[in-house]
Structure 1
């Protein structure tokens, strides 16, 4: 029987374990047991810190693990180290060491044709930010956090102190910050890709609804993105070059971008499947392609690629029903009766205000249609 090692025990670990079971693959999870969501989902749970790479590698060799997968930003490096130690397919360790560093990724892709960057600076001391030659508004964020955690926009010097304090308050942040000139206008997107032995496959482009400043929280995702065919092709070509430039060799990547007047700007790379239902649910519904199966096959070095024309053109999306999107509450209350309703989830009776992406603890509904995207437009004045 094929055996898969899952590094980490959070939400993505559960999703991967469920898919592996469907494929007849035995799953072994490596993580501390305290708070481990996947503990009762996998076939075997090993209570060991993901940072104990030597011990995890030893267990993988003894168990005959055929591939290992990362489940979060924190497990990207240990997964690459275990793969290297065990002779398994994965990303190079030197890439995994730096792929969560937003400043490094901007530097690595600064010469990619068609990919633009705002002005940006790396600072180790927050006190340095006030002396930078910046044009407001600016955005302050930890260099190594994902999910919009710790990011805050400052529109003037008076707001800078609050923005720095907010970023410093992120408990898992890195010691350094990246400061960027905030890109006004346009729209945010993410690119869902798979890479195998250095070849990149662009699976889907996701259009995002954002709360905007100060925290730029994602309030909805829609696939496929509503882009003209020539711009969609440009995105795919530019992202192919960017993934190569940043060093991704194997596995999933969720790359966030912004498009303003037809120009593509990098936000950040996340060398993992997209969260908030993007990879597992939306991408699989909209393309008809089992994205998470692809992630597992790549880890097991058994990926067959994606043939031209293989992907379907369906419509799928998610709307988070929050204080920021309170106009959606009437739709949410009755959506279970609509033909497009794929899933409805009520986390709380009251609407919450989001300060970072939190797609599994928030009221939401998912739509799916072969005909087109349902219209949930914000009413005038809402």
Structure 2
């Protein structure tokens, strides 16, 4: 049988990819750390042919370990399920001569400092970005460049909106920098993070993501996803709807996403491009994830359009041409339940049922310590819905959230 290797399968996209691998008759191997595999959920381990153990905190060692394994096992495709492993996946595919991206640009697909440099060099419409090692230097560079507030301050390497702040004046830079540099290593693998600070122009307007497959350099945009985020100083993601309701002319957003993917050297694989469209209709690319989209977006695409994105992703990294024909014209949405503040969860009401609701789940229970709505790590659960149109799905999501009550323990 043909084998594929998933780099850290214990993420939201992992189960979809393993299910797709079984449907394609593939042997599916999962690379992780030996101490972590024991915590994999049974529904994942049941679909894994065998685990492969390495130390992702040592990239050169991991590359050598996995190259040797892949050659012995006859692996024919590499998929990074976790975005912190996208550079390793690109280099591994190149070492094996398998379909992948341009290895010389691998780090720019993960490091936002290098990504911003690549966008500027290739004329990708994106927010103007400054970088610095510390808050004092960042403040001086912002003033010297004449960059106007509000600005977005964030770390060069993190995810899930962790360490991201919207800063309204120069006085907010030190606190935003402390938050952005609070994490120096990424758990659970202990991967060292670049702690360089980024300050970007704040783009007003609606936020979207473009879901894409790239096969031999040919770009195939599957859909545009509408994104819902918190307001104020943070930008945690509260939900997604597929496909987005957009004005008739959306070509600018699609062209911007294509330019971003080409600037980063994407050749074979899946991509998730986040962008904002300003009030004048101009798209600005925020960042690109050279990996399967998180937050169950692949499930949303399948429910709304009938495209099996996970299967198509695997076929692409195997060098095959996937069938990307939409099978239906509907809409699907996901909304995340969040606590109003960090603390101890006291009670959460029964999750709703109804005509449009596909599934609900809780990730926290009463008595658990939970984060606030500052980033994506503070989620309590989720509601997934389907309807005939995006407007109906969004309306049903509002109604579903209205019926959920979250109570936090009283602080004395």
Q: Name the TM-score, length of structure 2 as normaliser.
A: 0.82
Where do residues 276-295 of structure 1 align in structure 2 (5 Å cutoff)? 276-279=295-298, 281-295=299-313
Aligned pairs (5 A) from 1:331-346: 333=350, 335-336=352-353, 338-346=354-362
CA distance in 1, matches of 2:134, 2:173: 14
SS at structure 2 position matched to 1:220: strand
1:137, 1:332 → 2: CA distance? 37
Which residue is equivalent to 2:183?
Answer: 170
Q: Provide the rounded CA distance (Å) in 1 between the counterparts of 2:233 and 2:308.
A: 35
CA distance in 2, matches of 1:322, 1:175: 28
Q: For 1:254, what is the secondary structure of its paired residue?
A: strand
Cα distance in 1 between the residues matched to 2:194 and 2:384: 34
- CA 119–242 in structure 1, closer or farther in 2 if over 3 Å, else same: closer
| Mapped partners of 2:63, 2:371: distance in 1 | 39
Q: Distance in 1 between matches of 2:235 and 2:215?
A: 32
1:111, distance to aligned residue in structure 2 (A): 6.6
The structure 2 residue matched to 1:187, chosen from 188, 206, 230, is 206
Residue 269 of structure 1 pairs with residue 288 of structure 2:
yes
**Structure 2 vs 1, CA of residues 248 and 324 (structure 1 numbering), >3 Å: closer, same or farther?**
farther
Aligned-CA RMSD value:
2.4
Return the match for 1:151 from 160, 164, 169. 164
Distance 1:155 1:128 in 2: 18
**Equivalent residue number for residue 317 of structure 1:** 333
Q: 2:52 aligns with which of 27, 40, 46?
A: 46
Q: Is the 8 A contact 1:30 1:49 kept in 2?
A: no
Task: Single out whichever of 250-259 and 22-31 deviates more from structure 2.
Answer: 22-31
Asked whether the 8 Å contact 1:7–1:70 carries over to 2, the reply is yes
Are the aligned partners of 1:14 and 1:42 in contact in 2 as well (CA < 8 Å)? Answer: no
- Match for 2:223 among 192, 204, 209? 204
Deviations 1:159-187, CA, capped at 9 Å, x for gaps: 2211111111123331312111222x311
Alignment correspondent of 2:72: 62
1:1-382 superposed matches below 5 A: 1-11=1-11, 12-36=13-37, 37=40, 41-50=47-56, 51=59, 52-110=62-120, 116-132=125-141, 133=143, 134-172=147-185, 173-183=193-203, 185-231=204-250, 233-261=251-279, 262-279=281-298, 281-304=299-322, 306-307=324-325, 310=326, 312-323=328-339, 333=350, 335-336=352-353, 338-349=354-365, 353-358=372-377, 362-371=380-389, 372-375=392-395, 376-377=397-398
- Is the Cα–Cα contact under 8 Å of residues 9 and 39 in structure 1 kept in the other structure? no
User: What SS does structure 2 have at the residue aligned with 1:363?
Assistant: strand
TM-fit CA distance, 1:97: 2.4
Aligned-pair CA distance for 1:10: 2.4
CA contact (8 A) 2:107 2:114 kept: no
Cα deviation code 1:128-162 (max 9, x no counterpart): 01212232222111112222121112212222211
Aligned length, in residue pairs: 366
From the superposition, tell whether residues 332 and 297 of structure 1 become closer, same or farther in structure 2 (CA, over 3 Å).
farther
Describe the superposition over 1:283-335 as per-residue Cα deviations: whole angstroms up to 9, x where unpaired.
2212210001111111111123535xx3632110111122359xxxxx98463
- TM-score of the pair, normalised by structure 1: 0.88
User: Which aligned runs of 4 or more in structure 1 are off by greater than 6 angstroms?
Assistant: none
Report the CA distance shift for 1:66/1:219 in structure 2 as closer, same or farther (over 3 A): same
| Cα deviation, residue 352, structure 1 | 5.8
CA–CA separation in structure 1 for the residues paired with 2:165 and 2:227: 18
Cα offset, 1:80, TM superposition: 1.5
**Unaligned regions of 5+ residues in structure 2, if any?**
186-192, 342-347, 403-412
Determine if contact 1:332/1:365 at 8 Å carries over to the other structure: no
Task: Please state how far the C-alpha of 1:39 moved relative to its aligned partner.
Answer: 5.2
Tell whether the 8 Å contact from 1:251 to 1:295 is kept in structure 2 after alignment.
yes
Alpha-carbon distance in 1 for matches of 2:92, 2:104: 13
- Given the superposition, is the C-alpha separation of residues 72 and 349 from structure 1 closer, same or farther in structure 2, using an over 3 Å criterion? closer
Q: Measured at CA, do residues 206 and 332 of structure 1 come closer, stay the same or move farther in structure 2, by a change above 3 Å? A: farther
Aligned to 2:405: none
User: Distance between the aligned counterparts of 2:328 and 2:222, measured in 1?
Assistant: 10
